[in-house]
Structure 1
Amino acid sequence: MEKERVLFMCIHNAARSQMAEGLFRDLYGDIFDVYSAGSEPHTVDPLAIKCMEDIGIDISHHRSKSLKEFEGQEFDYVVTVCGNPYNACPFFVGGKKYFKQPFEDPSVFEGTEEEKFELFLKIRDELREWLEDLYYSYMIPNDESCNFSGELEGCCGPRDKEFSCR
């Protein structure tokens, strides 16, 4: 069976989308091909690498990629993880389904190195929780089912979007 493809996007592809790519690949890489890109790619932020190492996920080999590298390709899911007051996030043509969830950009935070790292950890944890909810609410493959006991048994099949199986 061919894996579904997921593209995480942000403007710089330096922190949030890189962490999302690493988290999602770690959680669901056996059933999804996972990528990330940005409209104005920068270098992957060292604090993003460090905070992912903190939970055993190595993104040190990641590089920031331009959305142009993926032009003409199709993705089952395109997920935007940036947001700002002007909502100036990139858009990618070629997605079957689109999701957007704004997360604070930890790479622009001004503070001590310790304060910056704490924000990276916070954003990483928020991303992980949201990605798990996204998966269980909207992305469960057709062959997967929920295993509840008691009254909830069988309540949510793989395509029941009214109830998260988590």
Structure 2
Amino acid sequence: MKKIYFICTGNSCRSQMAEGFGKKYLTDFEVRSAGVETHGLNPKAVKVMAEKGIDISDNTSDLIDIDYFNSCDLVVTLCGDARDRCPVIPKNVKHLHWGLMDPAKAEGSEDEILDVFRKVRDEIEIKVKELA
């Protein structure tokens, strides 16, 4: 089975959402996510994914597993920080970079912040579907 790794800074929002969509749409892949740091699972990411019928509430915020990383077929970085701080990607591993805004940095009312989470979620879903 092919392996894909979604990586962002803290493995709290973007990569978690990508993992959720990956498990739904990328049935030929083992799908995981990680961060160059761990920030804990963001409850707003859980909430907006539940709106799409995807439960990520049991996910954990994990650091990059170098053995899995090195054995991947595809590594997707979801922000510039992850791209810049990621371990060196082996030559035999395909790398894609999706420069997505960090919804955790959104400001405003609760509804405005959730709208940012939904916008990023929807961008991720489109990109994951394109991989399928």
Taking structure 2 as the reference length, what is the TM-score of the superposition? Answer: 0.89
* Gaps in structure 2 of 5+ consecutive residues: none
Q: How many residues align?
A: 128
Structure 2: how far apart are the matches of 1:123 and 1:107? 10
After superposition, the C-alpha distances for 1:39-72 in whole angstroms (9 at most, x for unaligned) are 11111100000000001000000000001xx113
Structure 2: how far apart are the matches of 1:131 and 1:38? 18
1:132 Cα offset (Å): 1.8
Taking structure 1 as the reference length, what is the TM-score of the superposition? Answer: 0.72
Contact 2:103 / 2:113 at 8 angstroms: preserved in 1?
Answer: yes
One-letter amino acid of the structure 1 residue matched with residue 66 of structure 2: E
Identity %: 36
**Alignment correspondent of 2:112:** 115
CA RMSD of aligned residues (A): 1.7
* Gaps in structure 1 of 5+ consecutive residues: 137-166
**Alignment correspondent of 1:58:** 55
One-letter amino acid of the structure 2 residue matched with residue 22 of structure 1: G
After superposition, the C-alpha distances for 1:7-32 in whole angstroms (9 at most, x for unaligned) are 0000111000000010111112x211
1:92 Cα offset (Å): 3.2
Q: Max radius of gyration: which structure?
A: 1
**Alignment correspondent of 1:27:** 25
Contact 2:77 / 2:97 at 8 angstroms: preserved in 1?
Answer: yes
Answer yes or no: is 1:81 the counterpart of 2:78. yes
Q: Per residue, is there more helix in 1 or in 2? A: 2
Structure 1: how far apart are the matches of 2:24 and 2:73? 18
Structure 2: how far apart are the matches of 1:56 and 1:72? 31
